Amino acid sequence: MRRVCCLLVVFLVLAGSAPAAAHVVSAGADLRVALTIGGSELTVVVEGVRRVPAPLRVRVEAYHGGAPERLALELRSVTDGRTATGAVRPSGMVAGDVRPSGMVAGEVRPSSAVASDVRPSGVVAGDAGLGDVAELRAEQAGPYELRLSAAGESAVLPFRVLVERGASWELVIYGALLAAALLAVGGLLTGAVARRRAGMLVSAGIAAFVAIAATFVVLEPYLPVADPDGAQPTAGPRPFARALVTTVPAEPVAGQDYTLRLDLVDGATGVPVDDLAVHHEALAHLVVTSQDGVSFSHSHPLRTAPGRLEVRLRAERPGRHLVHVELERQESGGQLLTGEFTVADRDEPPRDEPPREEPGPGETTTGPVGAAPRMVPAVPVAGRPTTVEVDTVAAARPWLGMAGHLIVRSADGAFLGHVHEMGTGGPTLRFTFGFPAPGRYLAWAQYATGERIVTVPFVVEVPR
Amino acid sequence: MKRLLGVLALVAVAVAVFVLGRGDDPVSVAVTGASYAVRVEIGGEVEVRVTSGRADTVTIAASMPSMGHAAPEVSARLAGAGRFVAGGEMLSMAGLWQLSIRLTGPAGEETLTVQAPVSAAR
């Protein structure tokens, strides 16, 4: 009896020393967030980790030429303030993806290669430490902020490092089986099973532990699963957010750059909204169009402070501009926020900088766009699905998680739709959308090729 | 036989304690900003321990976004070196509260935000 008790004590000590959380299952998901920084469309990728502490691998994908050559990174734990810094250079461009290690002396490059990514070898030597991937050490699970800085702009990206922990029920099951096994082996070794009373106790113990293990095996599918380490407690859907839209300067001038600022507030409390979910690979999708639809930009503003998103854009045309912001709060559905501002004519008194002629930030319509899109049926019927077919000028690569995006705006700007490509593959992108009412719609189909983002503008007339 | 039943009962109690005993711990959340770091502990009261930086005043604004609730700002009283305490009545119901903790001090003003799951029985 005493020996059995000793064995039980040993088991309990062993069970107590088992790790509270077994980091055996990977969280496995990469975080992908699109940002419009330094006038360039980039996607920041933070690769998932199985355990902490571990280096977080961060890389940045560029979608068109002129991307900043270097992004400074700072990873800060919101829990304890520990920081790790690094730098990375954007990669992923077909024409401009030139790695320093792959450079051959005297190699002739096609003149169409994106200038910003091709550097003379003398410059490469000074930047030898700058790679396509930065590794920033995360000591623990929980909330983090990743600050990205380039071209005088910076964004603070909040995210959480989650590490799966094994279900506590598994501990019960394996613990009970281990206890049963220890009792069986211990009972045999000590000869307890040969004695009537001790043998009965040992058998009863084994039966009890096996019964516990069997019960939890049967019940396991119905038992709650532990949240991953570092997860935020769930709270349920949030109310609508409102965006206060302002520009710096207050009245942008045609031909000049300006900053569009969105201050997000909770519609129910007026508290700043800082709980945006990453939705179609961005914290927010911002569509700015001139009233006549000639000027269009689809960008991904930077979170510069809690509840504040900002993006640097180029004012192309004077007049009224419409702002549509598509975003999603955590545990809630998608929302569309709207606003407007006016661009002054460039005949106004000159401001700080003279107008420039090269493409500005947020402009993605440069280059050929291919044939005009086709409609099936050729004349759309209001309220019924219409398929829009767009022939690509080069092989499309996924951008914002999809092969293509179609943005549809009513002529007056009161309606905005965002449609995704149907995933058919091949050189033709297909979008299906039901134009809600008769009228004139301005539409822009967008996709990424190896070297740029192509925007195909067109107009759809839906007859009465 | 009685002993057998006794052992089984003990095992059952141990399992029940293991399963049920993993209930709500008192809420304790740490957050670090640029100038200050705090640990927020929520029991009957809301205690803010300033673990880094020197804060002169601590003001707490609680809101529960999922319910559309916001509570008035409360100035926490100094209850020891770097310890500030406010009454727990601002957290009027169970659920996930968002506490915006505004600190002022020689390093300037900073607002730190924490998410705190508050249980009914505190």
Amino acid at A282: A
A271 in the same domain as A144: no
From B89's Cα to the closest Cα of chain A, the distance in A is: 18
* pLDDT for the residue B39: 95
Domain total in chain A: 3
Q: Which ipTM value was assigned to this complex?
A: 0.74
Q: Which residues contact B50 (CB under 8 A, 6 or more apart)?
A: B36, B37, B38, B58, B82, B83, B84, B103
Mean pLDDT (chain A, rounded): 81
Q: What is the CATH number of the domain that holds A441?
A: 2.60.40.10
A260 in the same domain as A379: no
A21 in the same domain as A156: yes
pLDDT higher than threshold 90 for residue B68: no
Buried b (16+ CB within 10 A) or exposed e, A450-461: ebbbbbbbbebe
- Give me the residue label for tokens 């500005």: A360
A257 in the same domain as A160: no
- Chain B residues 24-63 with a CB less than 8 Å from chain A: 30-33, 37, 52, 61, 63
User: How confident is residue B47, by pLDDT bands cut at 50, 70 and 90?
Assistant: very high
A335 in the same domain as A384: no
Query: Is A195 within the bounds of a domain?
Result: no
Which architecture characterizes domain B26-118 according to CATH?
A: Sandwich (2.60)
Of B7 and B29, the structure prediction assigns the larger pLDDT to B29
A142 in the same domain as A25: yes
Q: A79 and B30: CB-CB below 8 Å?
A: yes
From A266's Cα to the closest Cα of chain B, the distance in A is: 8
- Side by side, the strands of the sheet bearing A54-62 are A31-37, A40-46, A54-62, A133-138
* pLDDT for the residue A10: 39
pLDDT higher than threshold 50 for residue A65: yes
Rounded Cα distance, B98 and B64, in Å: 6
Residue of A nearest to B29 (CA): A79
pTM flag (> 0.80)? no
A384 in the same domain as A284: no
* pLDDT for the residue B95: 87
End-to-end CA gap in chain A: 92
Of A94 and A429, the structure prediction assigns the larger pLDDT to A429
Partners of A79 on chain B (C-beta within 8 Å) are 30-32
Among B4, B32, B70, whose Cβ lies nearest the Cβ of A271? Answer: B70
The two structure tokens encoding residue B29: 């959340």
Among A233, A236, A306, whose Cβ lies nearest the Cβ of B115? Answer: A233
Residue of B nearest to A270 (CA): B70
* pLDDT for the residue A252: 95
Q: A17 lies in which domain range?
A: 1-97+124-166+226-232
Which residue ranges make up each domain of chain B?
26-118
- Give me the residue label for tokens 């461009």: A93
* pLDDT for the residue A196: 85
B74 CB near a chain A CB, below 8 Å? no
The CA angle A273-A29-A85, to the nearest 5 degrees, is 70
A290 in the same domain as A157: no
A146 in the same domain as A73: yes
A14 in the same domain as A137: yes
Q: What is the pLDDT of residues A372-403, one digit of tens each?
A: 899 999 999 999 999 999 999 998 899 998 99
B2 CB near a chain A CB, below 8 Å? no
pLDDT higher than threshold 80 for residue A73: yes
pLDDT higher than threshold 70 for residue A352: no
